[in-house]
Amino acid sequence: MTLKTLFITGGAGFIGSALVRLLIAESDWTIVNIDKLTYAGNLESLATVSDNRRHVFSRTDICEREALDSLFAEHRPSGVIHLAAESHVDRSIHGPAEFIQTNIVGTYTLLEATRAYWSALAAAEKSSFRFHHVSTDEVYGSLGAEGLFTETTPYRPNSPYSASKASSDHLVRAWLHTYGLPTVTSNCSNNYGPYQFPEKLIPLMITHALSGKPLPIYGKGDNVRDWLYVDDHARALKIVFERGVPGEVYNIGGNNEKTNLEVIDTLCSLLDRLRPRTDGRSYLDLKTSVADRPGHDKRYAIDAGKINRDLGWKPQESFESGIAKTIDWYLSNPEWIAHVVSGEYRTWMEKQYGK
């Protein structure tokens, strides 16, 4: 058995690709990257590791049991980090079906394929095996003005996305409790940083601003999110996978609560300084109020004390340092943005893997 092989699902997405890049640079794991390449999967985000022999890409849907069984038989991993999901709340409101399919049925299928493989391992390999489920703080619902989500906050998901992620968390818990599969789950707050698909708040605002388009603010812009730089999340995932205790849940967050207006104003001021508009106006003039998101959660904020105490993780970036790095990356990588906006990022993948 190759003991240092690890499956990562969703490794062509925003957080998954950050984790793959980190593990290639800072570990000796061989990674089998299992990704369906939906609209959110982008192999250009993996360009820096694509020639690395420790990175094996497989275009596979986690809902396809036979394909998963073949991958387990071929690569014999010592763990799985499961990130593959439909991840955007607005899309879940307009079309929940894919969220139910990938996030619930896909997680179930992956758990069953993992269980079949894991059950046949020798005792030592069985006990060291880990299934790490990557989830979200949105499963806890919405906070009022006070308080923080902890690992014992009751689940109250409010959107089709968060309900599908909550379902997957419960499935993972049941596979541990019923079958003894050694699982850990992490629930993280809002991520931002390089390579994020420009449907999420921060990259959407940056890409709209740079092309002079309106900056759509849902409702009053006073909803609060707790922002975490994506590489800090990737470092936390590595630690949880390698040292987390089976059966435990770890909340991950940046301790960076901001209203959406604060985030947008910060982005506009930085862009005014770094890439002034040619007409001499401020990017702030592009701010536009639009209809609120239905069921819009008011506030998320994470107590990340447990992962700090038990596993020694804390974020390296402040919001100020992370947002500066993020803007710098988007300004320095116009090709990545242009390919995503034009849809060109799919051409190469389709040539390679079909539609």
Tell me whether residue 51 is one of the annotated catalytic residues. no
16 binds, among ligand NAD, ligand DAU, none (CB under 5 to 8 A by kind): ligand NAD
Total of residues contacting ligand DAU (CB under 6 A): 19
Tell me whether residue 140 is one of the annotated catalytic residues. no
| Interface with ligand NAD (CB under 6 A) | 9-10, 12-16, 35-38, 40-41, 61-63, 83-87, 102, 106, 134, 136, 165, 188, 190-191, 197
Chain centroid to Cα 354, Å, comes to 25
Torsion of CA 90, 92, 93, 97, to 10 degrees: 150
Q: Which is nearer to ligand DAU, 261 or 349 (CB)?
A: 261
10 binds, among ligand DAU, ligand NAD, none (CB under 5 to 8 A by kind): ligand NAD
CA distances from 247 to 177, 184, 238 (A): 8, 6, 17
Q: Which helix (H) or strand (E) element contains residue 68?
A: helix 65-75
Bridge pairing between strands 5-9 and 30-35: parallel
Among 4, 76, 88, 275, binds ligand DAU (CB under 6 A): 88
Query: What does the per-residue mask of binding to ligand DAU show for 121-160, with x meaning CB under 6 A?
Result: ---------------xxx----------------------
Q: Which is nearer to ligand NAD, 133 or 287 (CB)?
A: 133
CB within 8 Å of 288: residues ≥ 6 apart? 214, 215, 216, 217
Tell me whether residue 303 is one of the annotated catalytic residues. no
Q: For residue 250, report the phi and psi dihedrals to the nearest 5 degrees.
A: -125, 125
| Alpha carbons 19 and 241: distance in angstroms, whole number | 11
Catalytic positions, written as ranges: 137-138, 161
Question: Which residue ranges make up the site for ligand DAU (CB under 6 A)?
Answer: 87-89, 136-138, 189-190, 200-201, 204, 216-218, 223, 225, 260, 293, 300
